[in-house]
Structure 1
Amino acid sequence: MTSTAEATPLIPRDALFGNPTKAQGRLSPDGQWLSWLAPKDGVLNIWVAPRDNPDDAKAMTSSTDRPIRQHFWAPDGKSVNYIQDKGGDENFLLYKVDVATGEETTLTPFENTRVQIIGTSETIKDSILVGLNNRNPQFHDVYMLNLNTGESELVLQNESYAGFMADDTLTVRMAFRQNAEGGTDYFKVTDNVVANEPFEATAMEDSLTTSPAGYTTDGSTLYWIDSRGRNTAALYAQDTATGEKTMIAEDDKADLGGTIRDPKTGEVEAYSVNYLQNEWVAIDPDLKASMEWLDERLDGEFGISSRTDDDQTWIVWNDPLTAPSATYIYDRAASTLTPFYVARPELEGAPLQPMQTVEITSRDGLTLPSYLTLPPGSDTDGDGRPDEAVPMVLLVHGGPWARDEYGFNSAHQMLANRGYAVLSTNFRGSTGFGKDFLNAGNKQWGLKMHDDLIDATDWAISEGITSESQVAIMGGSYGGYATLAGLTFTPDKFACGVDIVGPSNLETLLSTIPPYWAPLVKIFHERMGDPNTEEGLALLKAASPLYKADQITKPLLIAQGANDPRVKQSESDQIVGAMKEAGIPVTYVLYPDEGHGFAKPANNIAFFGIAENFLSECLGGRAEPLGDVLEPSTAEIVEGAEHVKGLQDALGS
């Protein structure tokens, strides 16, 4: 490590992974109230305050265990609503809190049920459409739910569809499900009866890059993000009466992403393109003027997180990249930008490092959009490369049908602060870069998808960023799988690995998916391998790190949530058992009250404390001592406490 890096203050784990001071600011539809998430007795809850007196805040919920992580206002502004599961089981129920009385109600009081929000309305203010799978865990029936009375009425019983879409009148207009080819069929719904034949369909190659994006308020236009007949997904408007489509926007490098819609008409006012960085393109002149006004005053990335019904007041988030994110109240008419809160004020003045965008070429010529963060003081001439090679962590995203993005990243910042370069690479199979890039990952788990990660590592070595013996691999979900693949398929490539809720056996992974994923199972078979065929089963077994566990020669840390419905605990248990049987050391951390990732800050902080001390032993970087970090967490060290610096002492404290 450079002397500058060693002299850089350690950013405390708590500051990066603990509760934010405030988060997820929202405005009530009439603009009279502000809401946000903030700790109450150490747990994130919903707070509400008058718009004209934010200091007069009141906690509206009293969660004492699991943090509330998302909330929204009822269209009539009479209540704030949130969804919550139990212990990470992803059986989300819908709750409401009456703003006037503070009374809290469970709107979907069912066991083993996962609620979906199917439709909300600008004109029907007291009701929404929800999907409930309490009758059949595989399929969500559609109900009209009155948010004020809590009464629900069955609209459509579902026997085979993966989802539905409604218009502003809360009339179900569309149903969709997978077809035999692994694509999606879209059916018109009339008077709550689904048509026999689809009016639109995709093949498997377009199944993850084509989807309807909603109706205008009057129902005359249906928007699509559509890759059919092209590579990158473009934005189209379809006349619902004639079926005619008109292209609104396209980009040759990236799929069109999100849209900003007029709150009253539902018409698209702006769209986003996210290749290396996210960029908004405004169509509406008034919105364009407001976005340009904000761009002149805010550094880094920004966006709109909440708008009033009259569209005159916005909540705007801002990510300055090397400072903690901030949130503002923007009055469009008065042209004022009022500070609302800084999410993590303890990071103000901290040595946060800039994230670089880089393009890496794979061995077969694909361009891999990637992100690099360097340790403080390592790049004195500012050329984007360290003065001398430093240890590196290859941080792999989950999904795999997801992507890494530009912006503040707590893991990047902690690892860079500890003395590591951090590289995140969008390998083939990642979304957002066109269907050719996505489909290049089909049935390539452990094969070309893994080759891309090796190529990214070799690029970093060739650029002098790191050296061959100093690279760790780390990630969650698919990133955890990639870690296991890295240490089994290419056992000499990485110095160590950190696997967070990663599958080790693709056959058992597919046999234990949640029941509500059953309507989508074809996509897993087409993109990973079909276990019902001899060829597919052989492919899945060949790509499963479990069967090569005896090849592991480098240190491995595994972390798992016991309630994970996607990657069951058995996925980690299996490979830990195989390693023990082969006499190979492993450290295994289990959280009995977590699911697919760690929602509770105390658990997240404990995990990163263990991880940074594990990496320090392996790569020689810095680490904040463990101290008593385990005490407030539920972490159980199932195996290998002796392999992490200070872990046995922490368990004894």
Structure 2
Amino acid sequence: MTKFILLSTVLAVVLCFFVSPLWAEGLIPLEDFFRNPEKSGFQISPDGTRISYRASWERRLNIFVQDIGSDEAKRITSAAERDILAYFWAGNNRILYLQDSGGDENYHLYAVNADGSEVRDLTPFKDVRVTIIDRLEDIEDEVLIGMNRRDPRLFDVYRLNLASGDLTLIEENPGDIEGWLTDHDGKLRVAMRTDGVNTSLLYRDREDHPFKTLLTTNFRESVAPLFFTFDNKKLYVASNLGRDKSAIYIFDPRTAVHEELLFEHPEVDVYRLFFSRKRKLVTGTGFTTDRFRYHFFDEQRSSLQKELESRLPGYEVTVTSMNKNEDKVLLHAGSDRTQGSYYFYDTVTGEFRKLADLSPWLPEDKMAPMMPVQYTARDGLTIHGYLTLPAGSDGKNLPVVINPHGGPWARDTWGFDGEVQFLANRGLAVLQMNFRGSTGYGRTFWEASFKQWGRAMQDDITDGVKWLIEQGIADPEKVGIYGGSYGGYAVLAGLAFTPDLYACGVDYVGVSNLFTLLETIPPYWELGRQMMYEQIGHPEKEKELLKAASPVFHADRIRAPLFVAQGANDPRVKKAESDQIVEAMRKRGVDVEYMVKDNEGHGFLNEENRFDFYRAMERFHAKHLGSMAE
């Protein structure tokens, strides 16, 4: 689902219910915030001779390829119904990409030659979802995939021959495997087993040997395998076993113990580890505090980062792709005020050039800074978040949109957010908070959210509103709330459980009824059902808890205007979730604006649908919060 501002200091005081000519001059067209990027998703071929990227064709993101040094690119796909969001090089002359139909998330794997010839659906199976297990970068004509073709709840492992299209079953899921891992030779040697609440790490020395259980933990503790050591004998893992914050260890499968602590951070979890495939060594790790931070073990990789950051001061620089020889680099440089740009760097010749700006039509100097903030919840817990104020405003007595993230077991991070910048450009302050349960802050913070939907989790959001009011930032009469998925649930819960707090709400693919949410989870989430019961509540044993936390049963308390948007094909939060709350409101004679898109799923992917949604949101906020409208 997927996430600025133009107001001069002189005009910042004009936060009223009409659009003056001066304000209108400060408004950036809505479409500029939500257009498909000019170019994005740059990757380099393994041999370093060609670059690929995504750009619009027929209003859909398609894949283009061009030779390095050439200004001419060839479009190699013709997707007209859905954007292509995920793709990768499979050898030097072929690209693979994933695509679903109408937002159903049943992804098929397609292949196309780098010259645009021979487009093939490699998994042409109805109602089947494909996952990539190993791209097998050293085996040009093969890839390992997972498919729930045999049983919609389970993913078996197949070796797919890209030349012939032949599928070979490598491992049949016995019914309880939720994840697989290969070694550096592409052999399937690790599996994660779950009974719903307990997770076991399985291991084997060879692909033709049976799996053995190394250890079993409750889902609250995790030993997550990242990849093998380069001799294929041990594992790098992210683990919170016996500790609050996840850290990086070397794990010895022969003894089933954490052998060496590589890196930890006292404030946040560490999950990531980077390596050089060519040099066969671990290069560094990364973690997120207020912003994403690096820690390098390897001087060569550290020097590369310093070189790139010296060329692009003030930006967050990320290496996105390298050729096999690791001497040609593609990188992205962005910030909170720009979607950023892609660059090419040749480490041998020193050639450094810009490839493309993602959104050249958005003036960076007119965007609003995203400021890390923190406040204290009513029970003393520290809540971290991000505050974006309309550019040029004095930050006082502003109309505000509270924007809780989805998940809920995810988190907001610092960086460019098109939604936030759009709202700020319309004169609205935006507060995003990582309420309890948000990931990255350790096990205790995460567990504090269990069975707290509509309770302590919602209190954290409410306390954020009160903090804004106490700081004099928010006009208490003009506080709106907007969110998607779990954020949409938080909108409905906020309007129902704190009806005097909000002037309006926008619910985007949000949950209204916890019973029906749990009844209709996608089949491939079935292995996690018992864990969801422990995190949210059991529909049989804890009926009162779920009923008390489900906004649909408290719709009579909702007084603020409500706008609901939903994708008809959403497999995660079914359309019935939105139907229920809309029907409950309309039965009371309350008019609810309701937008349904028949060709969308969990969020609106197609550009014209995004325009429709944000245009309706703009009118809604202008009416109920006094924000600016085009």
Measured after TM superposition, the shift of residue 204 of structure 1 is 2.7
d(CA) in 2 for partners of 1:334, 1:523:
53
What letter is aligned with 1:566? R
Judge conservation of contact 1:120–1:168 (CA < 8 Å) in 2: no
Structure-2 change in CA distance of 1:48 and 1:203 (3 Å)? same
Moved over 3 A (4+): 5-8, 189-197, 239-244
Q: Which runs of 5+ in 2 are unaligned?
A: 1-6, 13-21
Deviates more, 1:414-423 or 1:12-21: 12-21
1:569 matched to which residue of 2?
575
Worse-matched range after superposition: 600-609 or 326-335: 326-335
The answer to whether residue 58 in structure 2 is matched with residue 41 in structure 1 is: yes
Work out which of the residue numbers 447, 467, 481 in structure 1 matches 2:475: 467
Q: In structure 1, what is the equivalent of residue 156 of structure 2?
A: 141
What are the Cα deviations for residues 129-156 of structure 1, in whole angstroms up to 9, with x where unaligned?
1111111101111101122222111111
Deviation at 1:269, TM superposition (A): 0.6
Verify the 8 A CA contact 2:136 2:144 in the aligned structure 1. Answer: no
1:237 corresponds to which residue?
A: 250
Q: In the alignment, what sits opposite 1:259?
A: 273
Q: How far apart are 1:511 and its partner, in Å? A: 0.5
Greater RCO (Cα-Cα under 8 Å, separation 6 or more) = 2
Cα deviation digits, residues 454-505 of structure 1 (max 9, x gap): 0111111111111221110100000000000000011111110000000100
Counterparts in 2 of 1:263-302, with a 5 A limit?
263-264=277-278, 267-298=281-312, 299-302=314-317
2:604 maps to 598
Q: Which residue of 2 aligns with 1:219?
A: 232
CA RMSD of aligned residues (A): 1.7
Q: CA deviation at 1:4?
A: 2.1
Alignment of 1:444 onto 2:452: yes
- SS at structure 2 position matched to 1:470: strand
Distance across 1 between alignment mates of 2:186 and 2:225: 16
1:468-483 superposed matches below 5 A: 468-483=476-491
Q: Alpha-carbon deviations, 1:112-171, whole Å to 9, x = none? A: 000011123343232111111111101111101122222111111112111211112221
Aligned residue identity for 1:347: L
The CA deviation at 1:66 is: 0.9
Q: Please report how far the alpha carbon of residue 84 of structure 1 lies from its aligned counterpart in structure 2 after TM superposition.
A: 0.3
Show the 5 A alignment for 1:158-557.
158-160=173-175, 161-179=177-195, 182-189=197-204, 192=207, 198-207=213-222, 210-244=223-257, 245-264=259-278, 267-298=281-312, 299-348=314-363, 351-379=366-394, 386=395, 388-533=396-541, 536-557=542-563
- Asked if the contact 2:412–2:433 (Cα under 8 Å) also holds between the matched residues in 1, the reply is yes
In structure 1, what is the Cα distance between the partners aligned to 2:562 and 2:464? Answer: 21
Q: SS of 2:236's equivalent?
A: strand
SS of the residue corresponding to residue 139 of structure 1 reads coil
1: CA distance, partners of 2:451 / 2:358 = 41
Alpha-carbon contact 1:124-1:169 (below 8 Å) kept? no
Write the mapping of 1:67-82 to structure 2, written as runs, cut at 5 A: 67-74=83-90, 76-82=91-97
Is the aligned partner of 1:560 residue 2:593? no
Contact preservation (8 Å) 1:562, 1:592: yes
1:513–1:324 distance in 2 versus 1, CA, 3 Å: closer
The answer to which of 288-297 and 80-89 deviates more is 288-297
Deviates more, 1:310-319 or 1:234-243: 234-243
User: Could you tell me whether the CA contact under 8 Å between 1:128 and 1:170 is conserved in 2?
Assistant: no
Structure 2 residue 11 is the aligned partner of structure 1 residue 4: yes
How has the CA–CA distance of structure 1 residues 157 and 269 changed in structure 2, closer, same or farther, with 3 Å as cutoff? same
Change (3 A) 1:262 1:195: same
Distance 2:424 2:142 in 1: 47
TM-score, scaled relative to structure 1: 0.91
Deviation per CA, 1:330-374: give whole Å up to 9, x if none: 222233321010001111356111110011111111111100110
Q: Which amino acid aligns with 2:53?
A: W
Q: 1:219 to 1:589 in 2, by over 3 A?
A: same
Q: How many angstroms does 1:107 deviate by? A: 1.1
Q: Take 1:281 and 1:330, find their aligned partners in 2: how far apart are those partners?
A: 22
Whole-angstrom CA distance in 2 between matches of 1:305 and 1:521: 35
Alignment-derived partner of residue 19 in structure 2: none
In structure 1, distance between residues paired with 2:510 and 2:592 = 15
- d(CA) in 2 for partners of 1:324, 1:431: 24
SS in 1 for 2:103: coil
Does the CA contact (< 8 Å) of 2:59 and 2:607 recur in 1? Answer: no
SS in 2 for 1:612: helix
Kindly tell me the number of residue pairs found equivalent between the two proteins. 610
**How far 1:411 sits from its partner (Å)?**
0.8
Residues in 2 aligned to 1:101 and 1:274: alpha-carbon distance in whole angstroms: 39
Per the alignment, in what secondary structure is the counterpart of residue 482 of structure 2?
strand
2:79 corresponding residue in structure 1: 63
Kindly report which structure 2 residues correspond to 1:615-630, keeping only aligned pairs within 5 A, or say none: 615-624=621-630
**2: CA distance, partners of 1:394 / 1:618:** 14
CA contact (8 A) 1:215 1:266 kept: no
- SS of alignment partner, residue 202 of structure 1: strand
Deviation at 1:206, TM superposition (A): 2.1
Q: C-alpha distance in 2, partners of 1:610/1:517?
A: 33
Aligned to 1:644: none
CA distance in 2, matches of 1:563, 1:194: 42
Whole-Å Cα distance in 2 between the matches of residues 504 and 216 of structure 1?
A: 46
Deviations 1:528-559 (A, max 9, x none): 011232xx222111110000011110000000
Q: Is the 8 A contact 2:76 2:116 kept in 1?
A: no
The answer to which of 490-499 and 114-123 deviates more is 114-123
TM-score in terms of structure 2 length: 0.94
> Which whole-Å deviations, capped at 9, do the CAs of 1:194-232 have from their partners, x for residues lacking one?
85752122223225xx42112234312311111111111
Asked if 1 retains the 8 angstrom alpha-carbon contact of 2:203 and 2:253, the reply is: no
Tell me, in whole angstroms, the C-alpha distance in 1 between the residues paired with 2:403 and 2:513.
21
Q: Is the Cα–Cα contact under 8 Å of residues 550 and 584 in structure 1 kept in the other structure? A: no
SS of the residue 1:256 aligns to: coil
Which moved further from structure 2: 313-322 or 104-113? 313-322
Q: What SS class does the counterpart of residue 86 from structure 1 fall into?
A: coil
Distance, in Å, in 2 between the alignment partners of 1:296 and 1:497 is 44
Which residue in 2 is equivalent to 1:643?
none
**CA distances 1:84-132 after superposition (whole Å, capped 9, x unpaired):** 0000000001001012462111111111000011123343232111111
